[in-house]
């Protein structure tokens, strides 16, 4: 949930810039096939989390989908890094496509391990130094 948190808290704090790696952009999964896959795989922890999110009436549902929040935010630049060959990461990246302040960075052949790939290529250092204005 680090990427989702980075996007949400970056928005709430009105950060200048946010970098999120393989983030979720909506909760719980809006795609029934992901719920179905979790059921078939008997992924009980995931199913339990899905049920809790859907049933808890005290949760503020305006934070379940980040697209409306980020579309109204014109002060923060969002950089979303994700693997194109990971079905769920691709769905979350596409969900944020077309927003003026969201910059999508898609990578092939990295799966869900975008941050690991960026670290191993030295690109992560460059991204962080540039974000901190040390470039």
Q: Is the pLDDT of residue 114 over 90?
A: yes
Give the pLDDT score at 61: 76
pLDDT score of 26: 86
- The CATH architecture of the domain made up of 2-26+65-131 is 3-Layer(aba) Sandwich (3.40)
Q: How far apart are the first and last CA of the chain?
A: 29
Q: Minimal CA–CA distance to 78: which of 2, 1, 16, 13? A: 16
Cβ–Cβ contacts within 10 Å for residue 110, how many? 21
Write down the domain spans for the chain.
Answer: 2-26+65-131, 28-62
3-class SS of residue 123:
helix
pTM of this prediction?
0.80
């Amino acid at each position: 949930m680090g990427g989702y948190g980075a996007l949400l808290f970056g928005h709430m704090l009105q950060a200048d810039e946010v970098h999120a790696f393989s983030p979720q952009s909506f909760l719980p999964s809006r795609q029934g096939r992901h719920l179905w896959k979790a059921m078939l795989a008997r992924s009980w922890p995931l199913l339990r989390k899905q049920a809790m999110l859907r049933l808890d009436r005290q949760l503020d549902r305006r934070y379940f989908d980040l697209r409306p929040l980020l579309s109204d935010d014109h002060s923060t630049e969002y950089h979303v890094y994700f693997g194109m060959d990971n079905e769920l990461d691709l769905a979350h990246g596409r969900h944020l496509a077309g927003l003026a302040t969201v910059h999508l960075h898609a990578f092939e052949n990295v799966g869900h391990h975008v941050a690991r790939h960026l670290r191993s290529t030295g690109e992560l250092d460059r991204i962080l130094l540039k974000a901190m204005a040390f470039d």
